[in-house]
Amino acid sequence: MIEIAPSILSADFAKLADQIEKVERAGARILHIDVMDGHFVPNITLGPLIVQSLRPHSGLRFDAHLMIENPERYIEDFARAGADHITVHWEATKHIHRLAQQIKAAGCTAGVAFNPTTPLDGLEFVVQELDFVLLMSVNPGFGGQKLIEAVLPKIGDLRRRLDAWGRRDCLIEVDGGIQAGNIAKVVEVGAEILVAGASVFGREDPVQAYRELCEAACGRSA
Ligand code: DX5
Ligand code: ZN
């Protein structure tokens, strides 16, 4: 099943609840929430307080993508705030196995994200703890960038590795530069969750934009 996860990074932060309600009405089931600390990436966005404020306004699964240093310090805060799924960066911790277990112990599903140039080697040692693997298809930090085409074969490589490790159920999430014109080829190589920021909330009508992406991804309306 292909899922499109709208990213609030490109939403109007003065109207977050309203914007989220729109994509929920359009048929989205996952909301991607980009957390940036100004250290791991050059940008700063939001923390657990915003997640907690949004929680009562939405039935969407909250997918917290932590682009922060020392993520182990904040797992419980995001879990308590209402995150359903927490993704941490491979590059941001020395102890990814312990961190994945910490996320699960906090009651969330766990994901690990890889920057575009980070190799997948070593993933086999932690894959049994994971529910998702996120591949960045732009350099993290900003919305509205162009998809890095060199990541496409990496998606296929990851799918083959997951299957070989007996983890057909471990989902591949791809994040960055996804739009109606390229979503089909990203799905084609094995992505199952497609994050979309500028191509949903950056558009005048996010409901229509979400539907167009669904159609382009699966050849059907949401
Ligand atoms: C970038 C973030 C992405 C971002 C994607 O660092 O992780 O989730 O919102 O935005 P678009 O879809 O605009 O590239
Ligand atoms: Zn993201």
Give pLDDT tens digits for 99-154. 999 999 999 999 999 999 999 999 999 999 999 999 999 999 999 999 999 999 99
Condensed to tens digits (0 to 9), the pLDDT of residues 69-108 reads: 999 999 999 999 999 999 999 999 999 999 999 999 999 9
Q: How far is the CA of 197 from the centre of ligand 2 (A)?
A: 9
Does ligand 1 come within 6 angstroms of the Cβ of 138?
A: yes
Q: What is the pLDDT of residue 220?
A: 52
Q: For the chain, what percent of residues have pLDDT higher than 90?
A: 97
Q: How far is the CA of 102 from the centre of ligand 1 (A)?
A: 25
One-letter-per-residue 3-state SS of 36-55: EECCCCCCECCCHHHHHHHH
Q: Which strand ranges, in their side-by-side order, compose the sheet holding 30-36?
A: 3-6, 193-196, 171-175, 132-136, 109-114, 85-89, 61-67, 30-36
Question: Does pLDDT of 221 surpass 80?
Answer: no
Q: How far is the CA of 87 from the centre of ligand 2 (A)?
A: 9
Does ligand 1 come within 6 angstroms of the Cβ of 171?
A: no
Does ligand 1 come within 6 angstroms of the Cβ of 137?
A: no
* Closest ligand 1 atom to Cα of 178: 12
Candidate from 39, 91, 146, 195 with most ligand 1 atoms within 8 A of CB, to mutate: 195
Distance CA(123)–CA(170), nearest Å, equals: 12
